[in-house]
Chain A
Amino acid sequence: MSLRVDNLRVYYRTLRGDVKALDGVTFRLEDGEIMGLAGESGCGKSTLSKSLIRLDSRMRYVEGTVELDGKQLPIDDQEEMNNFRYTEVSIIPQYAMSAMMPIRKIGKMISELLESRGFGYRTILPELERRLNLVGLSPEVLKRYPIELSGGMKQRMVLVISTLLNPSLLIADEVTSALDVSTQKAVAETLVEFRDREFVKSMIVVTHDISLVYQIADSIMVMYAGKLAEKAATEVIVNAPRHPYTQLLISSLPEVGVRYADKQLTGIPGNPPQLLKPPVGCRFRDRCPVAFDKCVEEPPFVEVAPGHSVACWKAY
């Protein structure tokens, strides 16, 4: 079972034209793989995660295919995708924990959700309770309102709900951002646990916090300005990245143990390009310290070592 994405292009319609938020993305995700999707704001990672499940009606699907477990996902068709959502592909959107209906008890909300998909609440209840126990929540929470739970508890609740029907692919969009450090760790470890227990087959964890995905992901994919920059095993990305952007990004992260007096870190000057009329060639060209004349030609995203793909002329 795996996910195959081929040349996916998704733009946003705006009054001023199409914003090329996702411009030709190709990658593979293997069975049981947890992939961290990292990048800064505006790089396209949220667009990618939403387009895999077709959740945003402002998106305009342009071209490309997505194949999950050998079946083509109808990502251009809002209606058709309904058959796959939640059962095969599930997403935990950003701010999910604040999105739970505040005036419904949690148990009622879940039963409505399941019934709308044609599943009986009673039949699934034992499994639901088992999973709640697993994440450290008592089945009592089903009788509570969302407001009575803390942030960490809500997030774990959302985790359980979105994986209840054992989807093949789980997309977790910034699920740890609003949490305290200790709860972040708990939630992140729960994600891994779900994969280990095969509640989900593979996972895409979207985040801006590379240190967090370093802890739990098998591989990391870095995006920049709507295109893929690099994808490799976690250790490789963090310790031996080949794309200049990845290198700069990793080296700009302050760590416990590194002090200003000892080693001054540097950021990346400038801003990412506007995606309304993106620049020709490599999009990182303007800010890249090692750019040269070939960079006006767009570098393809190719495999340079087993499991390691880069899009940079200097990295091949």
Chain B
Amino acid sequence: MLKLDRVWKTYKVGAFGSKELVAVRDVSFDVRPGEVVSLIGESGSGKTTIGRMVLRLNSITKGKIEFDGTDVSTLTGGRLKNYYRQVQGVFQDPFSSYNPIFKADRVFWMVKDQFFGRVPDRQWQEKIDAALHDMGLDPGQVLNKYPHQLSGGQLQRMLIARALLLDIRILVADEIISMLDASTRIDVLNLLADLKARGLGVLFVTHDLALGNYISTKTVILRKGVAVEMGATGKVFADPQHPYSRRLLGSVPQLHKKWSEIAAELRLDDGEDTGHCLYHEKFPGKCGEPPSDPDQPALAEYAPDHYVACVKEAWDEEEAKLVAA
């Protein structure tokens, strides 16, 4: 349904745009109906940029993003609007997503104005009520209020309701629960999982591995714009191959295991580099150097539905030393 094919995003920085900043490098994956794909990465990993490129909020420098076979970057005007009927996004900060000087339900009416102009107001109101019920919200409690009068959880759910009013097929969820309280988070997550069961495809952007693990079908681990490991969630989490993924998993604070136990399980102390690069077993080239053949795929297959990049990929020697003494 949604396919990213060797997508790149570079920014020109510096005086007169003399330097280049690579935000996303050669990332490919797809999202099928009923799949939740997690883009996991820390800040600067490019995960948000990818989400925005899918939403056409940022331009694509190289590569292709295809939706149902059509190149997304070629869409303009009416066809772009049609794209938005099928692909929508929800962002991290619920309070920033609403124009603070207007009432919150204005977002629903904006959708009507742009997409459902001929539908009578009353019918639209019924649709809104139904969508809100679907999200577990009481229309009487959330309609006709200003954003600052509602809670973050309510606002996020209203945004998802808005997206659903359009009968979308893909939802890009960018860190949508990081600003919610622990007790509300899980409700919104369960909501997403439900939607997945209904056939919606979700691109779930997050820095929190536990969340990614909870609801996603596929996981892509990003580091500085590069996908270092990718595959079925169960496989990636159970048997992480790339040193970065392992380090990441080892740093996540877990609720019933101490860090020392996790490190032991992942055998993190066995020395970072066994000198063994899975990627360069399959493809020619040296670790840490760009491949001589630019058409070479970015990841190598380690197991069915489990791909890994070169071990030296985006490796930062300086950060290898974290805790001193």
- Asked if A and B form a direct contact in the complex, defined as CB atoms under 8 angstroms apart, the reply is yes
Contact between chains at B323 and A189 (CB < 8 Å): yes
What bracket does the count of chain A residues touching chain B fall in?
35 or more
CA A259 to CA B233, docked complex, whole Å: 10
Answer yes or no: B193 CB below 8 A from chain A CBs.
yes
Instruction: Report the nearest A residue to B190, measured CB to CB.
Output: A264
Given A182-B248, A260-B190, A268-B183, answer yes or no on A135-B324 (Cβ-Cβ < 8 Å).
yes
Contact between chains at B214 and A260 (CB < 8 Å): yes
Instruction: Report the nearest A residue to B44, measured CB to CB.
Output: A180
Among B215, B255, B323, contact of A255 (Cβ-Cβ < 8 Å): B255
Interface string of A179-222 (1 = CB under 8 A from B): 01111111011100100000000000000111110110000000
Contact between chains at A190 and B323 (CB < 8 Å): yes
Interface string of B198-216 (1 = CB under 8 A from A): 0000000001011101110
Contact between chains at B324 and A40 (CB < 8 Å): no
Among B184, B215, B255, contact of A210 (Cβ-Cβ < 8 Å): B255
CA A135 to CA B184, docked complex, whole Å: 36
Q: Whole-angstrom distance from the CB of A246 to the nearest CB of chain B?
A: 12
Given A40-B181, A253-B182, answer yes or no on A180-B209 (Cβ-Cβ < 8 Å).
no
Contact between chains at A181 and B251 (CB < 8 Å): yes
CA A180 to CA B252, docked complex, whole Å: 10
**Number of B interface residues, CB 8 Å?**
40
Contact between chains at B259 and A41 (CB < 8 Å): no
How many contacting A-B pairs (Cβ < 8 A)? 130
CA A154 to CA B325, docked complex, whole Å: 19
CA A238 to CA B252, docked complex, whole Å: 17
Contact between chains at A182 and B251 (CB < 8 Å): yes
Contact between chains at A180 and B207 (CB < 8 Å): yes
Contact between chains at A215 and B253 (CB < 8 Å): yes
Contact between chains at A249 and B183 (CB < 8 Å): yes
Given A214-B255, A215-B253, answer yes or no on A258-B213 (Cβ-Cβ < 8 Å).
yes
Given A182-B247, A215-B258, A254-B186, answer yes or no on A259-B321 (Cβ-Cβ < 8 Å).
no
CA A259 to CA B211, docked complex, whole Å: 9
- A and B contact pairs by CB, cutoff 8 A, 25 listed: A40-B181, A133-B324, A136-B322, A180-B43, A181-B209, A182-B248, A182-B319, A184-B253, A186-B323, A189-B323, A211-B254, A215-B253, A215-B258, A253-B210, A254-B211, A254-B213, A254-B214, A255-B210, A258-B213, A260-B189, A260-B214, A264-B193, A265-B186, A265-B214, A271-B151
